[in-house]
Amino acid sequence: MISKKSALSVSFLLLAAAGCRTVVDHRIDTRTAEAREAYPPLGSFVPVGERQVHYVQTGSGRDLVLIHGASGNVRDWTFDFVDRVSDRYRVTVFDRPGLGYTDPDPAYAGTFDARAEGPEEQAALLHAAAERIGISNPIVVGHSFGGSVAMAWALNHDPAAVVILSGATQPWPGGLGPLYTLTGTSLGGAAVVPLISAFVPRGLVKRAIASVFAPQEAPEGYEDYVGAGLTLRASSFRSNAQQVKTLRPHLVKMSRRYSNLSLPVEIVHGTADEVVPIDIHSERLVEQIAGAHLERLDGVGHMPHHVMPDAAVAAIDRAAARAE
C-alpha cells in the first residue's frame, strides 16, 4: 500500500513533469509560429499522394533541379545561387521531405520512431513531384546530403546528368558525433529534440552556420535569410537527425551500383571540407563512375556553391553540354 505522503510526492512529481512539458510545448509552438511568420513558403506546392511538396521554380531553358543538404531548405539555393543560372535554365528547387515545407512520410512521423526516409525514397518523391509539374529529363544537382538524393535519382530515375557538390555519397568510417547519435534515436527524438527546439539559443545557430562554412565565412545576410528557425521546429529537427543517422546503410547499398551509371556526372568538392571529407566521398565516387569528372577546390570548405559559385555553375554547364 502507498502511504499518503508517498502518494502526495508522486502527485507532485507528475504535476511538475506535466508543467515542464507544458512550458516546453508552449515554447515550441511559439517558436514554430515565429519561424513560419518570418520564413513563409517561397514557392508553390504540388501534391504527391497525400503529401505536399514545396518547390520554387524560376527561369527558362533546360530543366535544372537543385536539392539542398542536411538542416537546409530551398532558401539555401535561393539566397543567390538561383539567380546565377536562371537566365539559361528552368530552375526548380525542392524542399526535401520533413524539411522546409515538404511533408515527411507519415509512416515515419511518430515521435518515438527513429526510422527515416532514405535517399532513394526521397528521390522517388521529388521525381514524382517533378513529373507532376512538367519537369523533363533534368540535370539534378545535390549538395551534401542532397548529393545522396541526386545519386539515388541517377540510379533509379534516369536524369540527363547529375552534379554533386560536396556530396555525401559513400559510407564513412566511424560515427556522427554525439548530437546526431542522440537526437537520431527514438528516445532522443522524443525527449531531447523538443528541448533543443524550445530552448536552443541564437548564438548556437550562428556557430553552427560558421562551422559549416569553415574555413570560409558565410556571406553577409545568409544567416538572416536561410531560415534556421524552420529546421529548429521539433518535427523538422527530428526528421533531419533521423535522416542523417540512418543514411550510412543506404549508401552502402547505393555505392555498389554506382559503377553501372553511364550518364554525365560532374563533381565539385573542397579539399578543406571537414563536414563531408573529399577523400572519403568524392575521391572514391569519381573512381566508381566511368567518365565522371571531379574538380577539387583547394582550401574550400563545405559550401562551394556560396564561396566559389562560379565553379558550381561551370560544373552545371559542363554537365548540360555533356548531356546534349
Task: Average the pLDDT over each of 14-18, 51-55, 98-102, 217-221 and give the range with the smallest value.
Answer: 14-18
Give the integer Cα–Cα distance in Å for 191 and 189. 6
Give the class (CATH, top level) of 47-322: alpha beta
Rounded to whole angstroms, how far apart are CA atoms 112 and 307? 38
Number of H helices, E strands in the chain: 15, 8
State pLDDT tens for residues 162-205.
999 999 999 999 766 655 554 445 544 444 555 565 556 666 78
Average pLDDT over every residue of 55-79: 97
Q: What's residue 87's pLDDT?
A: 97
Quick one: pLDDT at residue 237?
83
Give the SS3 label for residue 240. Answer: helix
pTM: 0.88
CB-CB contact of 292 with 267 (8 Å): yes
pLDDT at 49 exceeding the cut of 80: yes
Percent of the chain beyond pLDDT 90?
68
> Quick one: DSSP state of residue 196?
H
Phi, psi of 239 (to 5 degrees): -60, -45
Q: What is the DSSP letter of 174?
A: S
Amino acid type, 81? F
Q: What is the pLDDT of residue 234?
A: 77
Q: Is the pLDDT score of 6 beyond 80? A: no
Nine cell digits for residue 291: 567518365
Distance CA 264, CA 249 (A): 25
